[in-house]
Amino acid sequence: MSVQSQVTGRTAGGATATTSRRRLYRGEALTALFFILPSLIGFTVFYAVPAIRGLWISFTNWDLLRPAKFIGIENYVKLFQDKEFWNALSVTVYYVLLNIPLQTVLAMIIAVMMYRLTKSMVIRALIILPWLMPPVVVGLIWLWLLDPNIGIVNVALKALGLPMIAFLGLPQWAMPSIAMINIW
């Protein structure tokens, strides 16, 4: 003969186990919401609202002095008919196509090198250095390095018997030079 007993889901305090889990889940959810809320407010205030407002303004003729007048897609029609827009778009695409593949390949090479050279602190510091320097300082240093008259790059070219190049002054050299600076 066997004895069977029925076990209830109540704890010593009288609450069921599922009720305790629900309270715990609610507490965790409130804690998570508490931590996410500042980012959500920042995203809404500084990104979502301005983006929606900017989209609305793009469908108006507004000069900031008079009330906005809704004109539909007229601004976009003008934009797509503007030759300067297409030129700017092509320059941007060219810049992106120069940067993204080169940055990706170089990042992979550097990551493999860093993995293999983890004990060399000097090499790691030299590789990380560009991320630590302020962009304005880096821009000024590159401007000086690429100067057509006294820049170190042109001095080296002259020493090798090659012609000096205005890297940032010639259209055919400006974009590759800027891309190289960005990749660095």
Mean pLDDT for 17-26 is 73
Q: What is the mean pLDDT of the chain?
A: 86
> Domain limits of the chain?
17-76, 83-132, 134-184
Q: What percent of the chain has pLDDT over 70?
A: 89
Residue 18 reports pLDDT greater than 80: no
Mean pLDDT for 155-174 is 93
Determine the Cα angle at 99 with ends 95 and 104, to 5°: 160
CA gap 27, 167 in Å, rounded: 60
Quote the pLDDT of residue 38. Answer: 95
> Of the ranges 32-41, 43-52, 127-136, which one carries the lowest mean pLDDT score?
127-136
- Of residues 10 and 54, more confidence is placed in 54
- The closest alpha carbon to 154, from 136, 137, 168, 171, belongs to 168
- What are the C-alpha distances in Å from 153 to residues 34, 140, 144, 149, 160? 54, 14, 9, 10, 11
pLDDT digits (tens, 9 = 90+) for 53-84: 999 999 999 988 999 999 999 999 999 999 99
Mean pLDDT for 131-138 is 81
The pLDDT-based confidence of 7 (bands split at 50, 70, 90) is low
> What radius of gyration, in Å, describes the C-alpha atoms of the chain?
30
